[in-house]
Structure 1
Amino acid sequence: MSGIVLSSSVRQNLLSLQSTADLLATTQNRLSTGKSVNSALDNPTNFFTAQSLDNRASDINNLLDGIANGVQVLQAANTGITSLQKLIDSAKSIANQALQTTVGYSSKSNVSTTIAGATASDLRGTTTYASSTASSNVLYSGAAGGTTAAASTTKLGGVSGVLTGAVTQDNAGTPANISGTTLIYGASGALTTQATTKFADGDTFSVNGKTVTVKAATAPTAASLIGGTTGVLGNVVTDTSGNSTVYLNATTTVGDFVNAFDLASGTQTATITSTAGTAAFAQTAGQTASSITGGQISLQSTTGADLVLTGKADALKALGLTASVGSGTATVQANRTTGTGTLSSLLQTNSTLNVNGHVISFKDGNAPAAANVPAGSGVAGNLVTDGSGNSTVYLGGATAADLLKAIDLATGVQSASNASGTATVTTTTGQIASSINSSGQLKISTGVNADLAITGTGNALSAFGLAGNTGTASAFTAARSAGTGGINGKSLTFSSFNGGTAVNVTFGDGTNGTVKTLDQLNTQLQANNLSATIDANGLLTISSTNDYASSTLGSAAAGGAIGGTLTSSLTFSTASSPVADNVAQTTRANLVSQYNNILNQIDTTSQDSSFNGVNLLNGDQLKLVFDETGKSNLNITGVTYNSKGLGLASLTSGVDFIDNSATNKVLSNLNAASSTLRSEASSLGSNLSVVQVRQDFNKSLINVLQTGSSNLTLADTNTEAANSQALSTRQSIAVSALSLANQSQQSVLQLLR
């Protein structure tokens, strides 16, 4: 072609067309491929970088299939675990049916003994007691100094009090001339004429609750009182209770009133002869009669009660007993005192002691004669007892010994046999009578019939040192000592029975850890798998619980050997062997068969929980690779969750489910298997979560890589389309320019034609 000569303009146009055609071809190639870089020639850096990204995306994409299969393997294992859990629950239901079925034994192993008098509320039974001794506070006598200890002979009453009146005058005005024979009123030998108006018909005097009545009349004759309950002496008519009537007339003397006052206070005693209607007055034994000496009246109290005399003031003044005047009443008093032979605290008359429900009353005066005591009662010294523990102590001569005797009669330490009004008191066999020691303390025997409980009225508790250290206690109590017999204080032991807690029971009142009731006993036996019952005859039976109905008490295998001090006083039967209930055991054997069928299902389910040949419940392993280098991976080690792998073994009829203990062992294994499945389900869930996260991550990473590659190679179609249009236009223009450039040559051609 070198022989062809083209003009410069033509050549320039040809070059332009060639360049445009090249650019147009490149633009059309980009539009057709969608890429701006189609080969290394286009952009080596971008081409090879994009190719590297595409290759990595392709490698990761190839891993997604394996990851997806791994997800299905995990889901298959999880499905298997769910099914296994349901089978475990079915097995639990069968075991619970066994627990709810009648216990497999008609009788369980037990030991028994009979406790006389024992009941469910008090297992101790009939207990005998020994008497104990309770001490009062120290009692002192009334001797000077206040430190002399009281003794058994110390009197309970006091020293008689004396009320000495003023010197009175007779009508002659002689102050000291009156005596017991002095008339109350008259011309001579009488009290001062003023006394005439001081005593009147209907006047009354009250002496310690007894009544002395004045009646203006001639005293009745003795004959008129025959067969009655009163008798007459002088101008006084009296009964045997201390109530009197003084007949006021010309012969009534001061002595009549003094005698009447003494009869009321008890310092004198009237003996009535009903067949004669007469009365005889005599000084009461141990008391001092009132007297008139030197014109003065000296009224005496008894040793058992203060003297309290109330009457018309003018009348008492006429007798020289008060300075009060008028027709109103006045009260004069003679108080007892203490002395060497009495207690330092005076006992108030009519005080009482209540000893174990029996009443001891303290009365003024002396004990009545045997002929005068109530029917069925008897007198013994200074007390009267009804033979049932109730007594009346008479303070006229009563001593500390009488007090102790009365207490012993109430507690049963002593007993009284009454006959013809006389009580014969004897100490109960085996008992020791109460006493007072050299220190002045009452040593009171409680007796064996009941614990000692003493309350009182008046000042009896404090006077006898029974009101406590402060002197304000309202009761005095003391407990008996538990004697032989019964099981109080005895212990009962059982060694550990079937792994339970060994028992050491002490029988008592239910406090401080001791056992009294059947409920308390069962509370302590429960921890050692034992229970107790008692029947109406006091038969105490201790047997195994339903959980261990197949075990024998005291056997080498089960334990539960019996011992303690109780076994030395009571004989326990030899432990019996349990007796099987055939019907119940047949039912339990059927449940064993059902349970074993469930285990077979567990085995087959675990074997079937596979995907694509991988079974994580049958010991297989799963390895998942997450990146193209193989450095990021997850190894999941499978487990063997057939029945053996879950710790479950086939049951044997006659051995398993035979009692609640055997059943509970199976339930315990099932619960452990259930926990194992839950733990593995949690582990699988965690692994599945990891795999799914990596699966999603890889998908996203592939998209990132592919996007990056595209960003390096993809063309901008809008730009390339514009370029194509521009190049087409340029090409058209170049063709036109080439045509113009060739026109000169065409002109020459025309010339040649």
Structure 2
Amino acid sequence: MSGIVLSASVRQNLLSLQSTADLLATTQNRLSTGKSVNSALDNPTNFFTAQSLDNRASDINNLLDGIANGVQVLQAANTGLTSLQKLIDSAKSIANQALQTTVGYSTKSNVSTTIAGATAADLRGTTSYASATAYSNVLYNGTAGGVTAAVATTTLGAAQGTFSNTVAVNAADGTTAVTGTMTLIGTTAATKIGSAPADGDTLTVNGKTITFRAGSAPLAAAVPAGSGLSGNLVTDGSGNTTVYLGTAATPAATVNDLLTAIDLASGVNTSVIASGLATIANSAGQTPSSIAAGVVALKSSTGADLSLTGKADLLKALGLSGATGGGNASLSVNRTTTASSLGSLISDGASLNVDGHVITFKNAPVPGSAGAPAIPAGFGKSGNVITDGNGNSTVYLQAGTVADVLNAIDLATGVQTASIAANGAATLNTATGQSKSSINTSGQLQLSTGINADLSITGTGNALAVFGLSGNTGNATAFSAARTSGIGGISGKSLTFTSFNGGTAVDVTFGDGTNGTVKTLDQLNSKLQANNLSATIDANGLLTITASNDYASSTLGSTAAGGAIGGTLTSALTFSTASTPVQDAVAQTARANLVSQYNNILNQIDTTAQDSSFNGVNLLNGDQLKLVFDETGKSSLNITGVTYNSKGLGLAALTVGVDFIDNAAANRVLTNLNAASSTLRSEASSLGSNLSVVQIRQDFNKNLINVLQTGSSNLTLADTNVEAANSQALSTRQSIAVSALSLANQSQQSVLQLLR
């Protein structure tokens, strides 16, 4: 073999082929391992740097399990805190139930005394009152010029008004004057008015209704209850009348009947009803409406102006209107003021409300007078006033005077009283020490307030204005005046209580309610409230000072609770000895049940705190948690646990008969529960902060491992695309080298063949 000599070209091709084989082996190794550096021989720097990065990534990865366990420990503690908070809320609910339960004592500790005449509005006791005098605006009479002062005898009513119009003519020739005896309907034109009313037509007079009906009037036995028959009229006694027209063949109602019905409505006439019959008469001092020579003289009463509305044709037929047709027409008749009447006339139906009593003004003659209805049972008459004896009155306007109004006001205030006799007469007596109301020479009403109440007057209609009670502008809706009051029995006396259950000591001086003095029950309670006390007073003046609901179990004046009574009032009045609170068995049983429920909640708090562990670590039972975040152990977090059982939260088991027995005891428990709740919220915030830190470090380590592994890969990994291309190129190169070697070898053999 040593004798074989290779040519230079063969040797060169063999070397090239060997180099290609080496490169191809290297490339195939990189493709199979995926790394460009597989040993320190490939690239010592990159190899050892990548190995260091991989080692650190492995160390940090080993820490992730511990961190994950730490997260779960924190989660378990947080879950426990959430449950503990719910249990605390349940305990609060139980304590609040105790507050809402009936106070556990049927009678609380109290002291009491009786203050004669004391009321909730004035605790000072019996107070003397004097009647004061209040003045109205000036009242004038109807004398021309309007500046003549009214006097006591000035009447409320005025001179009757008269309405006269054109001559009324009959239906026959249109020229013959209507007389009072002419009928309203009929077949003979000469004996009836020009336009007949129809069945169902009405006239309205001063709010009263006159109704026309065809046919004959009923018998007395057939008229409606409370109404009465008089000729062709049926009246209800209040001014409402039905006029029976008869028939065309047999007419009935006449012009005089109609005028009578109008006067009943206006108050000019009165009716007294008995057994279905009505006795109609002129009111005292009233001139009835009439007709003469075809001219109707329609009269108002002295007590009210006249207002009439009805079918135009009917009114024209009576000469009362120029309008014609089936529609309505209206007319009015006003009274005339005189020197004997007020210059301003009061309207029918107006009223005054005096200290809660009602004075009504009515257009009618006073009952019991000639031709007027009888005095109602239970009522009494004095002048032109009918009173019920209790301060409510009616003043009759047709003859009533200013003096009658003053008497009615005095009956309402109690300045005068009325003694009602069996015959209906009322005797007025002035109360002892009082002065009757009067009218002075200037025309002002001098109203006595009386001593029963401060004077208060309101009105309806024009009553306030007519009597000068509507203020200087005439727009006031009320008139008032105060009595003169004296001093109460305990005014200037003091009452003291030492501090009761930690409250503010009380020092009260009774007075008029100004400058810090106490007059009313509300003012006294405002002082007592800060000392856990309250006061009540009954209709007999019994003042009772009681422990509040919060301290229903405490005894006033006791060594433990305090609240001893003193002051000058105790020498002026005799207070009872402070009573011992009396337990309510039912309420205390309910509160005892709540104590048991509360203690069960505390047991659940203890077990919940014990169960809030993970992997043997319980941050709510005093354990500690240490978490290491890096491979050197220099980066770590120490979490110190707490002991949050019931004792750790400052909560103690309750005792039946001691706790929840009153509201103060329940409030003390609530205070502790609120503190425990705040502690849990604070710890939850701390745990949440720590959990956030741990989760951030956990994510950081995961990302850091990826960074380290990526850095290691960047140093050692091969580019498979490049290596695959190299492999392909080297395979081609190797194939070419084999072919070249074959050619070189063939060439050498040919030379040898020539030498043979």
- Sort the TM-score into its range (normalised by shorter chain): 0.5 to 0.7
The equivalent residue for 1:134 is 134
* Alpha-carbon distance in structure 2 between the residues aligned to 1:347 and 1:591: 75
The equivalent residue for 2:713 is 710
1:510-556 deviations in Å (ceiling 9; x for gaps): xxxx99999x9999999987778888988776645544322345768
Say if 2:115 and 2:125, in contact at 8 Å, map to a contact too. yes
User: Residues 327-726 of structure 1: matches in 2 within 5 Å?
Assistant: 338=339, 345=343, 356-357=357-358, 408=410, 411-414=413-416, 427-437=430-440, 439-448=442-451, 465-466=468-469, 468-470=471-473, 478=481, 543-544=546-547, 546-553=549-556, 573-580=576-583, 588=591, 592=595, 595-596=598-599, 598-599=601-602, 602-603=605-606, 605-606=608-609, 609-611=612-614, 614-627=617-630, 634=637, 636-715=639-718, 716=720, 718-719=724-725, 722=728, 725=731
Say if 2:133 and 2:446, in contact at 8 Å, map to a contact too. yes
* Higher alpha-carbon deviation: 530-539 or 17-26: 530-539
Say if 1:311 and 1:329, in contact at 8 Å, map to a contact too. no
Alignment-mate amino acid for residue 666 of structure 1: V
Say if 2:154 and 2:342, in contact at 8 Å, map to a contact too. no
Alignment-mate amino acid for residue 35 of structure 2: K
The equivalent residue for 1:71 is 71
Say if 1:498 and 1:559, in contact at 8 Å, map to a contact too. yes
1:292-342 deviations in Å (ceiling 9; x for gaps): xxxxxxxxxxxx989999885799xxxxxxxxxxxx999xx998864xxx7
Cα distance change, pair 679–335 in 1 and its aligned pair in 2 (3 A): closer
Say if 1:113 and 1:571, in contact at 8 Å, map to a contact too. yes
Cα distance change, pair 736–666 in 1 and its aligned pair in 2 (3 A): farther
Alignment-mate amino acid for residue 134 of structure 1: A
Please report the TM-score for the alignment, with normalisation by the length of structure 2: 0.54
Q: How far apart are 1:712 and its partner, in Å?
A: 3.1
1:608-662 deviations in Å (ceiling 9; x for gaps): 6445665433455545444557776555444342334323234345432222332
Say if 2:495 and 2:567, in contact at 8 Å, map to a contact too. yes
Alignment-mate amino acid for residue 579 of structure 1: V
Structure 2, unmatched stretches of 5+, are 161-178, 182-283, 296-317, 321-333, 513-517
Alignment-mate amino acid for residue 434 of structure 1: S
* Alpha-carbon distance in structure 1 between the residues aligned to 2:31 and 2:180: 162
Say if 1:507 and 1:516, in contact at 8 Å, map to a contact too. no
Say if 1:353 and 1:454, in contact at 8 Å, map to a contact too. no
Cα distance change, pair 539–634 in 1 and its aligned pair in 2 (3 A): same
Say if 1:109 and 1:551, in contact at 8 Å, map to a contact too. yes
Describe the SS at the equivalent of 2:38.
coil
Q: How far apart are 1:430 and its partner, in Å?
A: 1.8
Say if 1:306 and 1:334, in contact at 8 Å, map to a contact too. no
The equivalent residue for 1:169 is none
Describe the SS at the equivalent of 1:74.
helix
* Alpha-carbon distance in structure 1 between the residues aligned to 2:584 and 2:460: 68
Say if 2:124 and 2:488, in contact at 8 Å, map to a contact too. no
Q: How far apart are 1:429 and its partner, in Å?
A: 1.3
Q: How far apart are 1:76 and its partner, in Å?
A: 3.3
Alignment-mate amino acid for residue 415 of structure 2: V
Identity of aligned residues (%): 70
The equivalent residue for 1:30 is 30
Larger radius of gyration: 1
Q: How far apart are 1:32 and its partner, in Å?
A: 5.2
1:416-443 deviations in Å (ceiling 9; x for gaps): 7899999987642121233455655332
Say if 1:50 and 1:710, in contact at 8 Å, map to a contact too. yes
Alignment-mate amino acid for residue 413 of structure 1: V
* Alpha-carbon distance in structure 1 between the residues aligned to 2:380 and 2:83: 95
Structure 1, unmatched stretches of 5+, are 162-199, 203-303, 316-327, 509-513
Alignment-mate amino acid for residue 645 of structure 1: G
Aligned length: 583
* Alpha-carbon distance in structure 2 between the residues aligned to 1:643 and 1:362: 86
Alignment-mate amino acid for residue 23 of structure 2: L
1:34-69 deviations in Å (ceiling 9; x for gaps): 422123442355435433432442343233233223
Cα distance change, pair 23–532 in 1 and its aligned pair in 2 (3 A): same
Describe the SS at the equivalent of 1:665.
helix
Describe the SS at the equivalent of 1:429.
coil
Q: How far apart are 1:147 and its partner, in Å?
A: 7.0
Alignment-mate amino acid for residue 718 of structure 1: A
Say if 2:67 and 2:629, in contact at 8 Å, map to a contact too. yes
Q: How far apart are 1:135 and its partner, in Å?
A: 0.7
* Alpha-carbon distance in structure 2 between the residues aligned to 1:201 and 1:87: 100
1:450-471 deviations in Å (ceiling 9; x for gaps): 6657799999976764564356
Cα distance change, pair 33–521 in 1 and its aligned pair in 2 (3 A): same
Describe the SS at the equivalent of 2:47.
helix
The equivalent residue for 1:173 is none
Say if 2:347 and 2:462, in contact at 8 Å, map to a contact too. no
Say if 1:502 and 1:528, in contact at 8 Å, map to a contact too. yes
* Alpha-carbon distance in structure 2 between the residues aligned to 1:634 and 1:492: 65
Q: How far apart are 1:33 and its partner, in Å?
A: 3.8
1:655-707 deviations in Å (ceiling 9; x for gaps): 32222332233234334434543453454345434433442443343234323
* Alpha-carbon distance in structure 2 between the residues aligned to 1:69 and 1:695: 11
Alignment-mate amino acid for residue 550 of structure 1: S
Say if 2:379 and 2:424, in contact at 8 Å, map to a contact too. yes
User: Residues 53-72 of structure 1: matches in 2 within 5 Å?
Assistant: 53-72=53-72
Please report the TM-score for the alignment, with normalisation by the length of structure 1: 0.54
* Alpha-carbon distance in structure 2 between the residues aligned to 1:447 and 1:120: 22
Q: How far apart are 1:74 and its partner, in Å?
A: 1.6
